[in-house]
Amino acid sequence: MSASVSQPRVGVWLIGARGSVATTVVAGCAAVTAGLHPPTGMVTETPPFEDCGLPPLSSLVFGGHDVVDCPLPKRAEALAAGGVLPPGLPAAVAAELTAADREIRPGGPVPGPTGHAPGPEGLITAFASDIRDFTRRCGLARTVVVNVASTEPAPTGGELPASSLYAAAALRAGCPYVDFTPSTGLHHPALAAARAASGLPYAGRDGKTGQTLLRSVLGPMFAQRALTVRAWSGTNLLGGGDGAALADPAAAAAKNAGKERVLADTLGTAPEGEVHIDDVPALGDWKTAWDHIAFDGFLGTRMILQTIWQGCDSALAAPLVLDLARLTARAHEAGLSGPLGELGFYFKDPVGEGPSSLGEQYAALLGFAERLRGGARGAADEPAARRPGEHR
Amino acid sequence: MSASVSQPRVGVWLIGARGSVATTVVAGCAAVTAGLHPPTGMVTETPPFEDCGLPPLSSLVFGGHDVVDCPLPKRAEALAAGGVLPPGLPAAVAAELTAADREIRPGGPVPGPTGHAPGPEGLITAFASDIRDFTRRCGLARTVVVNVASTEPAPTGGELPASSLYAAAALRAGCPYVDFTPSTGLHHPALAAARAASGLPYAGRDGKTGQTLLRSVLGPMFAQRALTVRAWSGTNLLGGGDGAALADPAAAAAKNAGKERVLADTLGTAPEGEVHIDDVPALGDWKTAWDHIAFDGFLGTRMILQTIWQGCDSALAAPLVLDLARLTARAHEAGLSGPLGELGFYFKDPVGEGPSSLGEQYAALLGFAERLRGGARGAADEPAARRPGEHR
Amino acid sequence: MSASVSQPRVGVWLIGARGSVATTVVAGCAAVTAGLHPPTGMVTETPPFEDCGLPPLSSLVFGGHDVVDCPLPKRAEALAAGGVLPPGLPAAVAAELTAADREIRPGGPVPGPTGHAPGPEGLITAFASDIRDFTRRCGLARTVVVNVASTEPAPTGGELPASSLYAAAALRAGCPYVDFTPSTGLHHPALAAARAASGLPYAGRDGKTGQTLLRSVLGPMFAQRALTVRAWSGTNLLGGGDGAALADPAAAAAKNAGKERVLADTLGTAPEGEVHIDDVPALGDWKTAWDHIAFDGFLGTRMILQTIWQGCDSALAAPLVLDLARLTARAHEAGLSGPLGELGFYFKDPVGEGPSSLGEQYAALLGFAERLRGGARGAADEPAARRPGEHR
Amino acid sequence: MSASVSQPRVGVWLIGARGSVATTVVAGCAAVTAGLHPPTGMVTETPPFEDCGLPPLSSLVFGGHDVVDCPLPKRAEALAAGGVLPPGLPAAVAAELTAADREIRPGGPVPGPTGHAPGPEGLITAFASDIRDFTRRCGLARTVVVNVASTEPAPTGGELPASSLYAAAALRAGCPYVDFTPSTGLHHPALAAARAASGLPYAGRDGKTGQTLLRSVLGPMFAQRALTVRAWSGTNLLGGGDGAALADPAAAAAKNAGKERVLADTLGTAPEGEVHIDDVPALGDWKTAWDHIAFDGFLGTRMILQTIWQGCDSALAAPLVLDLARLTARAHEAGLSGPLGELGFYFKDPVGEGPSSLGEQYAALLGFAERLRGGARGAADEPAARRPGEHR
């Protein structure tokens, strides 16, 4: 799947472009392109996704917004020291990290020309301009905007949260949008009209990387076997930026809503039990999720299933981000618009309609690949892909 | 789904009729019929199986073979003392236990008329005669034979193992057969011709009640997410008769083959790792299964999933046995024959063709229900069900 | 250790006398006395405690205060149904349960003669009178008061919480006092003077039954091996009354302080990590505690220990309550006074001075037994036991 | 504790000098000496061991035997790639690794002058000569021999196994000996006379680094609390050389005997349950040990404790090896001889007499430190240390 000379290049604009996930995305894309590592964890590199017209990894160009300054090569070294990236990888892909770093623009409240911070409208304009400049300067066929920033607290006042400013900027720049976090982003009521009018496809929200991934296969198992789940309790321990962000109960609430929705949907009823998210800086980018499921068997016999998931959050998220950027870019090319419900496979709290069990979500994803393949053969002959306006 | 007066009664002939599973089957069927407990764990009592023409629980009549003498009511008391049956249940269903106990005939090497043990042929004849007498005496429309005896070692010599003698007797008595254990049963080469000629439906083998159930949803999860499983190791601790039987490495080998087949089928390749089955009498009928799964994520990052399943084997098995007896009886009524591959949902090592992931097996089971429902509406109008001879 | 005719009888007055722990104490004492069960979990029934002059189990007489009405025999039946007591035990010890039930008096705000609730002083007087009446009526040599009521929130205002009213009543009635909960009890500043003046021995607080018991052996292990604990995180799931009480963050705070003190004391520093206590009614009296310990080995290598403790809280607590009642009664008999620091083996947050590691606490307990044995031989000859006023 | 110019240098001769443990020992000693890492996991670097006269880390000189050729610097790079050593450490201590590598001599059946392999006697002579040359060439005050080679199968014939040849060589070279493995080593009956006559101190066997370490604190906890352990089951998963060696049932048997001895000693009786050791190459030097402990509480209530230990074997072993080399060298200097039972803290299956609970073993170790301190003050004044011949 190497890029030919004539292959159009596709932009991936990352909100939170200097974070662990973004750094792993950029370094990993380069490493896989160079053949240094197999594409483990990338579903779009498996056989069912051949010939779907997805942009090859080698065609992806990265940029983004961030409020911190640490250059990507340095960030990558820190990740390698923490065991998130293989030792030696930062050096091997230094050129690609440096190239991406040049395309990162300051996010957050940028001071206006008079030294005053601009209002929300000014920020949206500035962000959209950054994205358009990136697309033009790099000669990109299109750019997908993906939010991989730290989870922000659920907004309380009427003001647009930062994630929604970025989402509005994506719309204004005419870019498909993927929300990989539970932050408000495109879902703010104030953006509803612009979102509908944009004719752009979008996907989200909150990447399903660990505990919820498990729940989306275990919940259906209990339901299919007619076993009654009495209580489903969970604790997540994680360090890194996400641990600190989610130690804020307001931010955790957003995340937990997605986790619990999976259970309610797959079990048909919400069981007892809480979910805790603890910030444990000693764990760095590693995450441990313990789940304790008390269920009744025949004649009310009490049984227990426990699961312990120990994963590296960035390494779990990055291949999904690459998948989503490719799928969403292709959906845009194929003229699809609105919520891409078929991508529910990737999310805790999927947009649009769709099943909650992973197996059915995978089937839906395969169907989506088929639809893209149809579109790839020639949109003129085969109008199966939804056009703007005809999306449910 | 109560039985009307005219509802034909259906026999369930249990090999190992005085074991924990059989006792739980008989007591549980009575308890659910009487409304003392909900039918937790019985898939055939969920909405998709309404109107499939399954025999109601109240129409089931139990009998069987066993080599031990302990009466069912006494066995049930022992199970209640061990927490397998609810306290009070044995007393509440004493009549049904006693009735079933009256229909149990001695299994194993029955002495012949001259005091000598009969040969295999004599045993098959005697067993088949027991089953036919039961069917006739109780006025049953049909009888399903289900093997729930302890796992036997893989046979080494040419002689038919006990499980195959019972299976041959089922064929001879014209009864559908379900193998809930990994024992040889109907799969002995010496029975192949009789099995094919019988035109009877059969299902098996080895009920999927715990660790393998989990594996059949977790294996597909790793595969769908393109995560590379490096090693999948497991340890099972169990007491009761099954623990002792499986402490025999030869018996365990039969069981483990099924467990490993699930992984190889769902992952596409067999990972490293062993499975241990330990006899721990202190655990009684309770089973603990620990699985440790080492997998690679993006860029080769090493991650771990562990699961701990603590269940009561009899309580997990019994509702599946009731499901299978009903489904197989209905298949027989509908004129189906040969291996019922659509019942792979229930088994570690399913007969016939079929998927290995639980989600797809559940879909196949729903399709089977649909097929039975079609047959129920009138075989004359809708010849979808396979007739004897036309089965693959 | 059977009671001779002349053996003086000893009272055990339980605050929360109709709770799960109290019911298990009364039923279990009767069952062990009758030889129905071995004294598993009772340290005072092991060889080192022979000849210490402890009151035999058969000499114990139970009574207490509670605010609920459910008779002990009925409560015991409920516990047996939930698997906390063996089936059949409530019937076998019905006489003892009924006898204890007759000695239970209403706790809480008892209405005064004019129909108005009495103030704190009135309640203390009434409670002390109940205890004195019990001692006199039953002809007891002495009575030990033990608080096994649900944990109460940490008091906020200046008012005495209920636990302190009972503790004050114990002092006023001249009874040794054991606080098996983290509630304020005897530790309220307003009781300091009376406590010191009373010359009574007392013990507490907060029985160490599960997660903290483990921590008191694992903390020293890490310290002795010079391994650096980075983070120690824990989640407790429990139903029953304690689960509900501890779901109140204020009550949980009291409990967690004890848990964390053990780590800080044994590790020399408090590691990162939180402790959660979740109310999971589906678990009934069963408690699951998960601990996740991230530690550094040589050269900073990151390692993990996880523990999962699944126990029945009442069954863990009851033998310790019997131990404590016996030891404290004997201490009183021997003329000891003040905080019994040598009983730190039993508590999360021990009174007095003493080590935090279980091994050292056990050694201290053996030393205490030795001291009691000395006292038993004749206080006149061997003045080793501390007399009132000479206690540190 | 830096080495002064006049500080005598002490040799550490490692059997298996190119293995993971040995490489970590050499690299780690250099790293701690250089102040690159704190001495985590080294008990001899904690306050109670100050002023005991232990040789400082900077005075240790490494050499050894091995049958493989891979140079230590290269081995260290491989360990760093596997996450066992910190990235960057091999380069930082390259000089020390190279120096140690120069002192490694070929082990195993060395061909004699005529090209024929020498017999056992010839090998012992050659090995002893290697050790003496090392001591002389490097100007060492003494040399301690430590076996850190892979576990060998329990010997079957009468022939001396390799580990015993090395142990005999240590005796012949006049060197104290530490057996960090369960291999036969010094315990072969054929060496008993030479061992007794040597007047040398020795320690062993089988370093207690993970599952058994835990068992040595949990076993005493159950015993002290009078809880009845019904079954204690364990599974170990490990890759690396040790995993492969222990996949041999004969080698595993030696290891498991030590594990089970701890339980029998601390519980007073051997519970049900097996121990499995699985070779899982995917885990590399990482080890996972799962323990499942079924115990009875009051009135026979069934409870469960499970532990999961995830550690890096080399990082756990290396600081203990350094501790043991220092303590044994100092014991030799102080004139002690025979089995050093006070070092039972470090071993699964300690030589000499001593307690089995870790807490008591730690107390014994502190007593040993005190004894060495006494000896350090001047052997002439304070004859507390045992001299050759007076050892029990």
pLDDT, tens digit, for every residue of B337-361?
999 999 999 999 999 989 999 999 9
Tell me if B382 is assigned to some domain: no
For chain D, list the contacting chains (3+ Cβ pairs, <8 Å).
A, B, C
Number of domains in chain D: 2
Among A257, A285, A312, which residue terminates a domain? A312
Residue A341: predicted pLDDT: 96
Distance from CA of D82 to the nearest CA of A (A): 10
Q: pLDDT-derived band of residue D4, with 50, 70 and 90 as boundaries?
A: very low
Residue A204: predicted pLDDT: 92
**Interface touch A290/C292, C-beta < 8 Å:** yes
Q: Which residue of A has its CA nearest to D306?
A: A306
Q: Which residue of C24, C38, C225 is in closest CB contact with D41?
A: C225
Tell me if A2 is assigned to some domain: no
D264 and D306 Cβ atoms separated by less than 8 Å: no
Give yes or no: residues C335 and C301 share one domain.
Answer: no
Residue B114: predicted pLDDT: 65
Mean pLDDT by 10 residues, chain B (392 residues): 66 97 98 97 97 96 96 96 90 98 88 70 96 98 97 81 96 97 94 95 94 95 96 92 72 73 89 93 92 96 96 96 98 96 96 92 97 62 35 35
- For B96, C242, C256, the CA distances from C181, given in Å and listed in that order, are 48, 10, 12
Cα-flanking dihedrals φ and ψ of residue A144, to 5°? Answer: -100, 135
Residue A42: predicted pLDDT: 98
Evaluate whether ipTM surpasses 0.90.
Answer: yes
Each as own residue / partner, the long-range contacts of residues A132-141 (CB below 8 Å, 24 or more positions apart, any chain) are: A132/A173, A134/A11, A134/A13, A134/A63, A134/A103, A135/A11, A135/A173, A135/A175, A138/A9, A138/A11, A138/A61, A138/A63, A138/A103, A139/A9, A140/A8, A140/A9, A140/A10, A140/A11, A140/A61, A141/A8, A141/A9, A141/A10, A141/A333
Measured at the CA of C274, the angle between CA C271 and CA C278, to 5 degrees, comes to 155
| Rounded Cα distance, C283 and C312, in Å | 10
Whether A77 has a pLDDT exceeding 60, the answer reads: yes
Whether D334 has a pLDDT exceeding 80, the answer reads: yes
Whether C261 has a pLDDT exceeding 60, the answer reads: yes
As given in the structure block, the two tokens for residue D349 are 């299956």
Q: pLDDT-derived band of residue C190, with 50, 70 and 90 as boundaries?
A: very high
Q: Which residues of D touch B274 (CB under 8 A)?
A: 276, 278
Give yes or no: residues B224 and B184 share one domain.
Answer: no
Q: Which residue of C24, C83, C362 is in closest CB contact with D298?
A: C24
- Strands C228-238, C286-296: pairing is antiparallel
Distance from CA of C221 to the nearest CA of B (A): 25
Whether A244 has a pLDDT exceeding 60, the answer reads: yes
Give yes or no: residues A362 and A220 share one domain.
Answer: no
> Of the candidates C30, C42, C36, C115, which has an alpha carbon nearest to the alpha carbon of residue C76?
C30
Q: Which residue of C has its CA nearest to A276?
A: C276
Give yes or no: residues B216 and B229 share one domain.
Answer: yes
Q: Which residues of A touch B31 (CB under 8 A)?
A: 299
D188 and D214 Cβ atoms separated by less than 8 Å: no
Measured at the CA of D94, the angle between CA D90 and CA D99, to 5 degrees, comes to 135
Q: Which residue of A272, A288, A306 is in closest CB contact with C308?
A: A306
Residue C248: predicted pLDDT: 72
**Interface touch C235/A290, C-beta < 8 Å:** yes
Of the listed ranges A115-119, A309-313, B62-66, C66-70, the one predicted with least confidence: A115-119
| Rounded Cα distance, C126 and C166, in Å | 10
CATH number of the domain encompassing residue A188: 3.40.50.720
Residue A386: predicted pLDDT: 37
Q: Looking at residues D323-329, what average pLDDT do you find?
A: 98
Tell me if A355 is assigned to some domain: yes
Q: How many CB atoms lie within 10 A of CB D381?
A: 8
Q: Which residues of D touch B273 (CB under 8 A)?
A: 237, 278, 280
Structural domain boundaries, residue D304: 211-312
Of the listed ranges A213-217, C380-384, D275-279, D323-327, the one predicted with least confidence: C380-384
Give yes or no: residues C45 and C76 share one domain.
Answer: yes
pLDDT in tens, B197-228: 999 999 999 999 989 999 999 999 999 999 99
Residue keyed to tokens 């304790």: A292
Of the listed ranges A119-128, A221-230, B235-244, D309-318, the one predicted with least confidence: B235-244
Give yes or no: residues C156 and C268 share one domain.
Answer: no
- For B58, D161, D203, D337, D347, the CA distances from D352, given in Å and listed in that order, are 70, 22, 9, 12, 11
Q: What is the DSSP string of D84-108?
A: SS-TTHHHHTHHHHHHHHHTEEE-S
Amino acid, single-letter form, for residue C81 = A
Element (H, E) at A194: helix A192-198
Residue B243 vs residue C136, higher pLDDT: C136
For chain B, list the contacting chains (3+ Cβ pairs, <8 Å).
A, C, D
Residue B240: predicted pLDDT: 76
pLDDT in tens, D69-85: 999 999 999 999 888 99
Residue C111: predicted pLDDT: 58
**Interface touch B297/A227, C-beta < 8 Å:** no
Give yes or no: residues D356 and D323 share one domain.
Answer: yes
Residue C246: predicted pLDDT: 73
**Interface touch A306/C304, C-beta < 8 Å:** no
Of the listed ranges A194-203, C379-388, D149-158, D321-330, the one predicted with least confidence: C379-388
Q: Which residue of B235, B274, B294 is in closest CB contact with D283?
A: B294
Distance from CA of A82 to the nearest CA of D (A): 10
Element (H, E) at C312: strand C302-312
Q: pLDDT-derived band of residue C158, with 50, 70 and 90 as boundaries?
A: confident
Tell me if A126 is assigned to some domain: yes
Tell me if B391 is assigned to some domain: no
| Rounded Cα distance, D27 and D30, in Å | 5
Of the listed ranges C3-7, C226-230, C238-242, D357-361, the one predicted with least confidence: C3-7
Give yes or no: residues B83 and B193 share one domain.
Answer: yes
Q: pLDDT-derived band of residue A324, with 50, 70 and 90 as boundaries?
A: very high
pLDDT in tens, C364-378: 999 999 999 985 443
Among B282, B312, B342, which residue terminates a domain? B312
A51 and A106 Cβ atoms separated by less than 8 Å: no
Tell me if D389 is assigned to some domain: no
**Interface touch B312/A296, C-beta < 8 Å:** no
Distance from CA of C249 to the nearest CA of B (A): 30
Distance from CA of A184 to the nearest CA of C (A): 28
**Interface touch A288/C290, C-beta < 8 Å:** no
Tell me the HSE value of B21 on the side-chain side, using a 13 A CA sphere.
26
Give yes or no: residues A158 and A281 share one domain.
Answer: no
Q: Which strands form B286-296's sheet, in the order they lie side by side?
A: A275-279, A228-238, A286-296, A302-312, B302-312, B286-296, B228-238, B275-279
The average confidence (pLDDT) of chain D is 90
Task: Assign residue B335 a region (left: φ > 0; alpha: ψ between -120 and 50; beta: otherwise).
Answer: left
CATH number of the domain encompassing residue A234: 3.30.360.10
Give yes or no: residues B90 and B193 share one domain.
Answer: yes
- Strands D302-312, C302-312: pairing is antiparallel
Among D312, D340, D355, which residue terminates a domain? D312
Give yes or no: residues B84 and B167 share one domain.
Answer: yes
pLDDT in tens, A9-68: 999 999 999 999 999 999 999 999 999 999 999 999 999 999 999 999 999 999 999 999
Q: Which residue of A has its CA nearest to C281?
A: A272
Residue A385: predicted pLDDT: 34
Give the rounded distance of the alpha carbon of B352 from its chain centre.
Answer: 16
The average confidence (pLDDT) of chain C is 90
Tell me if A192 is assigned to some domain: yes
Residue C117 DSSP symbol:
P
**Interface touch D292/B294, C-beta < 8 Å:** no
Q: Which strands form C60-66's sheet, in the order they lie side by side?
A: C104-106, C60-66, C10-15, C142-147, C177-179, C201-204, C338-339
B64 and B15 Cβ atoms separated by less than 8 Å: yes
Task: Assign residue D139 a region (left: φ > 0; alpha: ψ between -120 and 50; beta: otherwise).
Answer: left
Tell me if D1 is assigned to some domain: no
Q: Which residue of B237, B273, B276 is in closest CB contact with D280?
A: B273
Distance from CA of A249 to the nearest CA of C (A): 14
Distance from CA of D96 to the nearest CA of A (A): 23
**Interface touch C280/A272, C-beta < 8 Å:** yes
**Interface touch B217/A217, C-beta < 8 Å:** yes
| Rounded Cα distance, A243 and A254, in Å | 14
Residue B384: predicted pLDDT: 35
> Of the candidates B79, B74, B80, B63, which has an alpha carbon nearest to the alpha carbon of residue B16?
B63
pTM across the whole model: 0.92
Give yes or no: residues B129 and B52 share one domain.
Answer: yes
Of the listed ranges A317-326, C237-246, D174-183, the one predicted with least confidence: C237-246
User: Which of A252-256, A342-346, C264-268 shows the highest mean pLDDT?
Assistant: A342-346
Q: Which residues of C touch A280 (CB under 8 A)?
A: 231, 233, 272-273, 294
SS3 assignment for C182-237: CCCHHHCHHHHHHHHHHCCEEEECCECCCHHHHHHHHHHHHHHCCCEEEEEEEEEE
| Rounded Cα distance, B276 and B278, in Å | 6
Q: pLDDT-derived band of residue D245, with 50, 70 and 90 as boundaries?
A: confident
